[in-house]
Chains A and B, each alone.
Chain A
Amino acid sequence: MERWGARTEVDRDERELVRRCLAGDQDACTDLVQGYARMVGTVIWRATGDDGVVEDLAQETFLGVFRGLPHFDARAKLSTWIYTIAHRVVIDHLRKLGRPPEEPDRLLRDSLPASGVIDPEAAATREEIDRLVRDGLARVPEKYRLPLVYAAIDGLDYETIGTMLGVPPGTVKTLVFRGKRLLKDRIVSMLAARTAGNEVSDAL
């Protein structure tokens, strides 16, 4: 009950903020941007992996938000709607970069066999694993990569991500699972390449 009451309060605050923005209140517009900028920027950064474009794309997102605000459905959650616009801005940006699409099905079929996985703690330091995760993510197809990175952001649940991607929450779960498997395969192959020439058992 208290949870419901709290949500209603948030809804009322959101509606009031939207109303003031539509009335041209610059302070309200500033509040709206400041309230969501951190999350929008984080979504963009994680999705693009490029901190150099975050500010521009975040700005583009909020300009899109203000353009679309007269048509915002008050029954929807403002945060989810804003993150959805951020996701579309990211997609447009990635399309402009013209990253060649990979064939996800082929990639999944080509998953590495279960044997021969090197102990990550023996093979790489934490910083190296972080770098391998970054490099590995760049090789995971967008279809799986974006749900995977969004799911790792604190504050984005499967339902919100589903709305952003236009798929049901169950599909998000599947995409995250497949993305994680692909990422693991990428990292395993990179770790294996590092220890090329050695027997796997030597590294374990």
Chain B
Amino acid sequence: MRCEEAQNELAREQGDAVVPGALAAHLASCPTCENVRRLYGRIDVALTQGAVWEPPVEFGRRVAARALRTAPHRVADRRIVSPGVFDLVMPGLFVAATGYIAGVASDVLIMDAVPMTWLCAALSLWVGASFTHRVIRLRDLLP
């Protein structure tokens, strides 16, 4: 085994790994590579025993409070209705409304405009809410 191969092997080894036979034989006869092995061992120890961060007391509560303060719309948004349900309900509602208008609305419109007015108001509200909802979701995705 050449020194370059041996040192590449050593770079791949973890600090406490068992050295394979051919590499061990080379190390026994090559002080330079043995020094490299020791150096890698020291590097591994230094790297694995590096700093570990301990969060300050109340860090979690402070960050959580800030997150909820700065993003209340997202929480409220989820609580009301999930986007999946919203997207499913919208087409269904439009189909139902179209059917209603095509089937019975002509008579209703002539006899009583109040139910039709309520239906239009509800649809307008729903469409408005849908667009607002999508704008909020889009804003979430932007940086």
Contact flags (1/0) for A103-144 with B, using CB distance below 8 Å? 000000000001111111100001001100110000000000
5 nearest A-B pairs in the assembled complex, by CB-CB distance: A41-B53, A29-B64, A24-B75, A152-B47, A34-B60
Least distance between A87 CB and chain B CB atoms (Å): 15
Tell me, yes or no, whether B74 is within 8 Å of chain A by CB.
yes
Other-chain contact of A184, B31, B40, B60, B79 (Cβ < 8 Å): B40
- Taken together as a complex, chains A and B put the C-alpha atoms of A130 and B3 apart, in Å, by 26
- Taken together as a complex, chains A and B put the C-alpha atoms of A41 and B51 apart, in Å, by 10
Least distance between B9 CB and chain A CB atoms (Å): 10
Chain B residues with CB under 8 Å of chain A are 3-4, 7-8, 11-12, 31-33, 35-36, 38-40, 42-44, 46-48, 50-56, 59-68, 70-72, 74-79, 137, 140-141
Other-chain contact of B55, A41, A115, A121, A180 (Cβ < 8 Å): A41
Which residues of A lie under 8 Å from residue B53 when comparing CB positions? 37-38, 41-42, 44-45, 51, 54, 58
What are 10 of the A-B contact pairs (CB < 8 Å)?
Answer: A23-B78, A24-B76, A29-B64, A34-B55, A38-B55, A63-B66, A67-B67, A114-B33, A117-B35, A119-B35
Count, A-B residue pairs, CB within 8 A? 151
Q: In the complex, which residue of chain A has the Cβ closest to the Cβ of B48?
A: A152
- Taken together as a complex, chains A and B put the C-alpha atoms of A23 and B39 apart, in Å, by 52
B79 touches A23 (CB 8 A): yes
Which residues of B lie under 8 Å from residue A42 when comparing CB positions? 51-53
Tell me how many residues of A have a C-beta within 8 Å of chain B: 55
Which residues of A lie under 8 Å from residue B38 when comparing CB positions? 119-121
Which residues of A lie under 8 Å from residue B7 when comparing CB positions? 114, 181
B67 touches A66 (CB 8 A): yes
On whether A55 and B140 interact (CB within 8 A), knowing A154-B48, A180-B11, the answer reads no
B39 touches A33 (CB 8 A): no
At the interface, is chain B mostly helix, strand, loop or mixed? helix
A30 touches B60 (CB 8 A): yes
Other-chain contact of B68, A24, A58, A149, A184 (Cβ < 8 Å): A24
Q: In the complex, which residue of chain A has the Cβ closest to the Cβ of B52?
A: A42
Tell me, yes or no, whether A15 is within 8 Å of chain B by CB.
no
- Taken together as a complex, chains A and B put the C-alpha atoms of A126 and B36 apart, in Å, by 16
B35 touches A29 (CB 8 A): no
Tell me, yes or no, whether A164 is within 8 Å of chain B by CB.
no
Q: In the complex, which residue of chain A has the Cβ closest to the Cβ of B7?
A: A114
Contact flags (1/0) for A35-78 with B, using CB distance below 8 Å? 00110011011100001001100110011001101110000000
Q: In the complex, which residue of chain A has the Cβ closest to the Cβ of B74?
A: A70
Which residues of B lie under 8 Å from residue A134 when comparing CB positions? 46
Contact flags (1/0) for A71-90 with B, using CB distance below 8 Å? 10000000000000000000
- Taken together as a complex, chains A and B put the C-alpha atoms of A80 and B100 apart, in Å, by 50
- Taken together as a complex, chains A and B put the C-alpha atoms of A153 and B3 apart, in Å, by 29
A67 touches B56 (CB 8 A): no
Contact flags (1/0) for A154-189 with B, using CB distance below 8 Å? 100000000000000000000001001101100110
Least distance between B30 CB and chain A CB atoms (Å): 9
Least distance between A136 CB and chain B CB atoms (Å): 8
- Taken together as a complex, chains A and B put the C-alpha atoms of A67 and B71 apart, in Å, by 7
On whether A37 and B59 interact (CB within 8 A), knowing A45-B51, A114-B4, A120-B38, the answer reads yes
